[in-house]
Chain A
């Protein structure tokens, strides 16, 4: 049973560029959440997708957008990259209505230069 998979694992982009990160949830899970983890910090919630719609959003600007596909996989897009967007981006999958743990992928480490 495959867990949560994210691609790519590492990425280097230049300021002002756009980036797309991808996530495939754990089999049977229908909800995908994205988190940003800056160096030395805990993860911060970006947004959450269910039934192909954004359901909840954290305190992130509109430069951060996402999408969920019918197969539950998801993309995170960041436009007009800033140096401060350099971070580990984590995808978590869960089952809507579930009470217990969310399963995380290994993350995508984004470096903006």
Chain B
């Protein structure tokens, strides 16, 4: 079964600095997708970035980039130039490969709380 591990319960960063949030995953499948979501205190899960297992380039979306190291099974999120509004919970998730039903679900880690200070 797929598993996502986020070992950092909390991270602190100063405004305008970069921060890396760690994520490792466990799967025996060759085809999978990795996601990062941001969850502010309001509760909504906001999609940040996606990396497919066959993507050769690391994904980037504005200030977010995903450091994908397939052999190490890690998919760390890098946030450059942190802003106060980045303070939130961050979840790493894996999309299970499409099974016989054709349907997929997301498996989430336990999250990392990021606090950005002025």
Contact = CB atoms under 8 A, between A and B. Distances in A.
Contact of A105 (B35, B44, B93): B44
Given A41-B110, A106-B42, A107-B43, A101 B105 contact: no
Nearest to B31: A99
B44 A104 contact: yes
Given A58-B105, A100-B33, A42 B111 contact: yes
Interface in B99-118: 101-111
Residue of B4, B52, B103 most packed against chain A (CB within 10 A) = B103
A56 B37 contact: no
Given A48-B105, A56-B101, A99 B33 contact: yes
Contacts of B91: 42-43
A50 to B, nearest CB: 7
A44 B108 CA distance: 7
Interface in A65-113: 88, 90, 92, 96-97, 99-107, 109
B88 to A, nearest CB: 14
Contacts of A33: 105-106
For chain B, which range describes its interface: under 10, 10 to 19, 20 to 34, or 35 or more residues?
A: 20 to 34
Nearest to A49: B103
For chain A, which range describes its interface: under 10, 10 to 19, 20 to 34, or 35 or more residues?
A: 20 to 34
B23 to A, nearest CB: 11
A109 B39 CA distance: 14
A40 B111 CA distance: 8
Contact of A55 (B47, B50, B103, B110): B103
A106 B33 contact: no
A99 B33 CA distance: 8
B52 A48 contact: no
Contact of A45 (B37, B46, B105, B110): B105
B51 to A, nearest CB: 10
Given A43-B106, A48-B105, 12 more contacts: A42-B110, A43-B91, A44-B108, A50-B103, A92-B45, A101-B35, A101-B47, A103-B47, A104-B44, A104-B46, A107-B43, A109-B43
5 contacts: A45-B107, A48-B105, A92-B106, A96-B102, A104-B47
